[in-house]
Amino acid sequence: MKTFPDIKQSFRELIATPSISALEAKLDMSNQGVVTLLSQWLDDLGFDCQIHPVPNTRGKHNLLAKIGQGHGGLLLAGHTDTVPFDEGRWSQDPFTLTEKDDRWYGLGSCDMKGFFALVLEAVRQMPTQDFIRPLYILASADEETTMNGAKAFAQSKAIAPEYALIGEPTGLKPVYMHKGHLAQGIRITGRSGHSSDPAKGLNAIEIMHQVIGQLLKLKQHLAEHYREEAFSVPYPTMNFGHIHGGDAANRICGCCDLHLDIRPLPGLPLEVLEQLLTQYLAELSQRYPGAISISQLYPGSQPFAGQADAQWSQLVAELSNQAPEVVNYATEAPYIQQLGCQTLVWGPGSIEQAHQPDEYLDTAYINKTVDLLKHLIYHACIKTP
């Protein structure tokens, strides 16, 4: 076997390879460098690697690697992209691995390039020739924005593992359920004019006032009809995050924009939520023809629900010594689950470090995560039924 990088070197090279995802084209980057690195290393370990372009992206790719034969097995999944970093707020170069105070700092160290380095080390220490079921590794694109990588992979139905782990930073707690995310923009297009004669215009702020009234009714409906007590906030939430309209006190407002965020529970698909939004504004849309438009601010993410008492959930919980739990943030889990596998979100580090300046992974997670991964791979790929 060729000389293989140790954990720190693979961390260092992954972090040094920028792969920022952003909706704005000027900030967006390809993930080709990260995918190429991982493919080279996995090939050295004996994996069969396939790289596929992801539709509806700016040159992004998914990597799927497989080792072992047979049916079922385990999928270890993660995303190759990071969020943009805050210029001037990092204490060190975000693209240089910096070790300090028992922490490894760097953009993606926790969320979540570091997970791939730990997976590589776990596999390197295992007798892959003994695998009687396959081990898959998926490195996906654009999780931080559109999740188009995971969506495209789920639609391809290329594999059918029995189990899946998505290595987001959960503190090694198995996460079996999370909310979804829908971000919509509502624009009211009125008619501007002089404020001295309101009848000659159509005030967009006044119409938006009525729209907000209907949205508050929808918010109440969601709270009353959808509940899941496992969540700390056990109902779908709606937040009005941005509003802007008008340009002068003596002009009738001709345009008003509202941005809102809704976090649906499992059992409330985004399509149904969008239909409810349209339904609650239907009467106003008829009263003011052509004045109300609803648009997607950016692609949403479906809610995810597994089972806390499923075999996989219980095994991961037992080995990790952590009870299965639910979280409020969104991941690729609902799309990976479409492959038909028992799916969990589970990985090293804290979500509190994600998307923050001076992102880091506590080094206490390194050996522990490698050991746990080896146990989980053994159970899914080697252990006889």
Catalytic residues: 81, 143
Residue whose structure tokens are 């998307």? 355
Nearest Cα to Cα of residue 140 among 254, 19, 288 = 19
* Amino acid found at 199: A
Residues 130/380, Cβ–Cβ less than 8 Å:
no
